[in-house]
Structures are given as structure tokens and as C-alpha cells.
């Protein structure tokens, strides 16, 4: 593929992002803003770029199923990517005429390649337009059909069926392909929920309360991160499920608290709000550039008790030797299978070997946390994944080696069940998939 960019062309911009995701292990969410700027896209095209990019990623395996019978010769990989994003528009976007999608694909193929590639692309897409899509009913195996139909790797679908059954797996896989809801957390240290709603509505957005979490709002009609309410620290961007671990932690004003893997700072700032900005709150992260994000978030929200530290939390015992914490949050590095709706690339990059490796890291972090926790102190372990081996398996192994730790009910808000551990699925209320386990340290 020639390296030229077709400035102002939204479909060529989508091709660049998808190509980088598939071949350079880039993250689509991080590339979007840079690409919008580099291509000089008009405001009206930004939404279409996001829709084409995420939609093509979400439905990649289904699109390949439709394309395969029409591809008779070996194609350069970027041409297949171009065919996928073009077919995505033809199949899933009612407002894009098929002739427009095909015309744009042929022009990009000619300019990024040559006239011969343009003819091949034209021939394949027009054949599909003429003959229609093949039926998914051709696939007899229900597990393989669900894999192709929802575009999740077959090994992952089989694993989830083994853990949760076919119906729950199907619900989750379908939910993962929906557009995620925009949610924000109101900074209750700076304003009230009512005033935050009024501030957002004054800027032309719509906001309504979550029925589960008092400080969570559902927002539509604009980008909350672009509002004055965000810039002045009245709100922060956070998924509803991601607010639950801090409830389970039960932080209070004046406590000494550690957030072990804190970047980009969503939960650390939530803890500071629950502590009414009094006490001591340490926020660690492995990468210095990510620690900077925590500092920026704390400054914007006006939280002065957060002290950030760059370093490996597996060595936090050395760093905080002599300090005993009332509360410790471990929002652990994980496979991220609960956030596929926001990051569809995840489902194609993970493998079964990841789970055991991640569990080892998580146990090392939990072992370190026990050393630093006061008697009667609370430790919360959370992940944004839905894998039983990774989540429940880690809890079981942790309890086996730490008889001084016991599971306690997670103090979740509203109608949410106060079990421990708690597994939230993406389809439960439309948020991210999340896992929360709360432990308390017994007296010596």
C-alpha cells in the first residue's frame, strides 16, 4: 500500500487506522483523535470515521465470512482491509448508499495501489451487491455459527460457553457489538448531581441519572469531554461499572489509602471524593507517563490529597515500608474482556495463554497488598474482565495462601447485590464487564 494519505477522505482515514490496528498492534481508541487531526476531517465526518472504524473491527469475522467466496486470488492484506470496511458500510449502514461505498473503495484502491487493484475491488463488491450475502445458516455447528455471527474467536466462545453456558455467552457476545453508552461521574466534592445535569444541559447535552449509582450520569447529544463542565472539574469520564470497586473499598475521610495500579486515575479520584479530600491517598502506576495522567486528573478535579508514585506495585512493600493502610485497591492488570464493546481489537489479540500469566501477576500484587494492610483493613481486587479462571481462580488461590484474609460482602450501591466476589456482565445493565472481590484482614 502506498504511504500517501487522501486528506479529507474519511474512508481512507478509516483504512489507515484499521491497517495500523491489524499490523502494528496499535490501539484504535488512541489512533482516532490523531487521525482526525492528520487527515483534516470535517466535523460532520468524525462520527462516520468512528462508526466505520469500530464497526469494521467489531464485525471483522462476519465480514470475512461474507467476502471469502468472492475472493478468488491472493490479495495484499490492505486490500482485504479496504474490502471489509467497504462491505461494512454496505451491510450495516443504512444511510450510506452502496454505490457510494463501492465508488470510494475503488478510488482508494487505485490511488493506494493501481488501476488493476481498483478493478478487483470493484468486481468483488459489485458481485456481492448483485448476488447478496451468503447465509450464516450454512454453518451447522452452533458454537462456530455464534463465533462468526458475533465475530468473536471460536476459542473464546467455547471458553465462555464452558464457564457460563450458551445463552449467557450469546447475550454477552451480542452486547459486545453494541455502541457503548456515554457515562460520566459527578465530582460530588465540587458540585451536586442536579447542578452537573444543569451545567451539561446548558451546553446542549442531555443527561439523566443512573438508577444504580448516585453520582453516575448517562450523557448524550455531544462529547462530555469537550464541555466546560468537564474542564472545570464538575465531571469526569468513567464507565458505570468502573465506579463499583470504590464503593466496595468503603474509603472514609482521614484514612490512609493505597491505589496500587491507579492510572489513568478514575478510581483514585473517586476515592478522593469519597474521602472528602482529607487523609492520605497514594496512587501508584508502573509507567511515569501514565502517572502524569493521574496528576492531571487530580488537578482538574481539585483533589489535593493524591500523592502519585511511579514504580512496580509488586515492590510497593519496599516503597511504603512502615506505613499500614486502612484501605488498598488493586484494580489489576487483566485480559480486559469486559470492555470489548469499547475496544473491539481486544478480542482478536488475546489468547488462552494470557490468563495464567496475568493470574501470576495479580497474585504477586495481592501478596504485596496483604503485607501493607492494617488488621481489619479492607482490600479490594477488581478487574475489567469476565474470565472465571482469571477472576475466581485468582481469588481462590489467594485465599488458600492467606488464611488471615476473608471475603466480605462488597458494599455496592442501590439494587446491586452485595455478594463477594461479584461478576458484572456487559449485558447486565449496559456497562462494562467488571469483577469485584472485597477482603478483610483478620486481627493478628
Band (pLDDT 50/70/90 cuts) for residue 273 is very high
pTM of the entire structure?
0.93
Question: The CATH number of 244-441 is which of 3.30.43.10, 3.40.449.10, 3.30.470.20, 3.40.50.150?
Answer: 3.40.50.150
Burial of 413 (0-12, 13-18, 19+ CB in 10 A): middle
For domain 184-237, give the CATH number.
Answer: 3.30.70.1170
3-class secondary structure, 251: coil
CATH no. for 10-134: 1.10.940.10
Instruction: Write down the pLDDT at residue 17.
Output: 93
List of residues 6+ apart from 123 with CB closer than 8 A: none
Q: What is the mean pLDDT of residues 161-178?
A: 97
Annotated binding residues, written as ranges, equal 261-267, 285, 312, 331
What would the mean pLDDT of 273-281 be, rounded to a whole number?
97
What's the confidence (pLDDT) of residue 321?
86
Q: Same CATH fold, 244-441 and 10-134?
A: no
The predicted pLDDT at position 3 comes to 72
Average pLDDT over the chain reads 94
Read off φ and ψ for residue 47, nearest 5 degrees.
Answer: -65, -40
**Residues 212 and 241: beta-carbon distance below 8 Å:** no
Q: Where are the domains of the chain?
A: 10-134, 142-176, 184-237, 244-441
Cell numbers 504485596 correspond to what residue? 368
Backbone angles phi, psi at 216, to 5 degrees: -100, 130
Reply yes or no on whether 334 is catalytic: no
What number is the average pLDDT over the span 418-438?
94
Cβ neighbourhood burial of 415 (10 Å; 0-12, 13-18, 19+): exposed
- Active-site hit among 83, 294, 340, 384: 384
381 pLDDT band, cuts 50/70/90, is very high
Average pLDDT rounded to a whole number, residues 279-285: 97
Q: Which residues are annotated as a binding site for S-adenosyl-L-methionine?
A: 261-267, 285, 312, 331
Q: pLDDT grade, residue 444 (50/70/90)?
A: low
Amino acid at each position: 500500500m502506498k504511504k500517501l494519505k487522501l486528506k479529507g477522505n474519511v474512508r481512507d482515514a478509516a483504512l489507515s487506522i484499521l491497517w495500523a490496528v491489524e499490523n502494528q498492534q496499535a490501539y484504535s481508541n488512541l489512533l482516532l483523535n490523531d487521525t482526525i487531526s492528520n487527515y483534516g476531517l470535517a466535523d460532520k465526518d468524525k462520527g462516520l470515521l468512528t462508526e466505520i472504524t469500530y464497526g469494521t473491527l467489531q464485525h471483522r469475522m462476519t465480514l470475512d465470512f461474507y467476502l471469502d467466496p468472492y475472493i478468488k486470488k491472493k490479495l495484499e492484506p490492505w486490500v482485504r482491509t479496504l474490502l471489509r470496511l467497504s462491505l461494512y458500510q454496505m451491510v450495516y449502514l443504512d444511510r450510506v448508499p452502496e454505490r457510494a461505498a463501492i465508488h470510494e473503495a475503488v478510488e482508494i484502491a487505485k490511488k493506494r495501489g493501481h488501476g488493476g487493484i481498483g478493478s478487483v475491488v470493484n468486481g468483488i463488491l459489485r458481485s456481492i451487491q448483485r448476488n447478496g450475502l451468503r447465509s450464516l445458516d450454512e454453518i451447522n455447528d452452533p458454537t462456530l455459527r455464534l463465533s462468526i455471527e458475533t465475530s468473536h474467536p471460536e476459542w473464546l466462545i467455547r471458553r465462555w460457553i464452558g464457564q457460563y453456558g450458551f445463552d449467557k455467552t450469546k447475550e454477552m457476545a451480542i452486547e459486545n457489538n453494541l455502541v457503548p453508552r456515554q457515562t460520566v461521574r459527578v465530582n460530588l466534592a465540587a458540585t451536586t448531581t442536579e447542578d452537573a445535569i444543569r451545567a451539561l444541559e446548558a451546553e446542549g447535552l442531555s443527561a439523566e441519572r443512573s438508577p444504580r449509582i448516585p453520582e453516575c450520569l448517562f450523557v448524550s447529544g455531544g462529547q462530555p469531554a469537550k464541555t466546560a463542565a468537564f474542564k472545570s472539574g464538575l465531571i469526569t469520564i468513567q464507565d458505570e461499572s468502573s465506579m463499583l470497586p470504590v464503593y466496595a473499598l468503603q474509603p472514609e475521610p482521614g484514612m490512609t489509602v493505597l491505589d496500587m495500579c491507579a492510572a489513568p486515575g478514575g478510581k483514585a479520584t473517586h476515592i478522593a471524593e469519597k474521602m472528602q479530600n482529607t487523609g492520605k491517598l497514594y496512587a501508584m502506576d508502573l509507567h511515569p507517563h501514565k502517572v502524569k495522567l493521574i496528576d492531571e486528573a487530580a488537578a482538574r478535579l481539585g483533589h489535593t490529597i493524591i500523592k502519585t508514585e511511579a514504580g512496580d506495585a509488586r515492590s510497593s512493600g519496599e516503597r511504603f515500608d512502615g506505613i499500614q493502610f486502612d484501605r488498598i485497591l488493586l484494580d489489576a492488570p487483566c485480559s480486559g474482556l469486559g470492555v470489548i464493546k469499547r475496544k473491539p481489537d481486544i478480542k482478536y489479540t488475546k489468547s488462552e495463554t494470557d490468563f495464567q500469566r496475568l493470574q501470576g501477576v495479580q497474585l504477586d500484587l495481592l501478596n504485596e497488598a496483604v503485607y501493607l494492610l492494617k488488621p481489619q483493613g479492607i482490600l479490594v481486587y477488581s478487574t475489567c474482565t469476565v474470565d472465571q479462571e482469571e477472576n475466581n481462580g485468582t481469588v481462590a488461590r489467594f485465599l488458600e495462601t492467606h488464611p488471615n484474609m476473608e471475603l466480605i460482602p462488597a458494599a455496592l450501591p442501590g439494587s446491586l447485590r452485595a455478594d463477594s466476589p461479584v461478576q458484572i456482565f456487559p449485558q447486565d445493565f449496559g456497562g462494562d464487564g467488571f469483577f469485584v472481590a472485597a477482603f478483610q484482614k483478620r486481627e493478628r
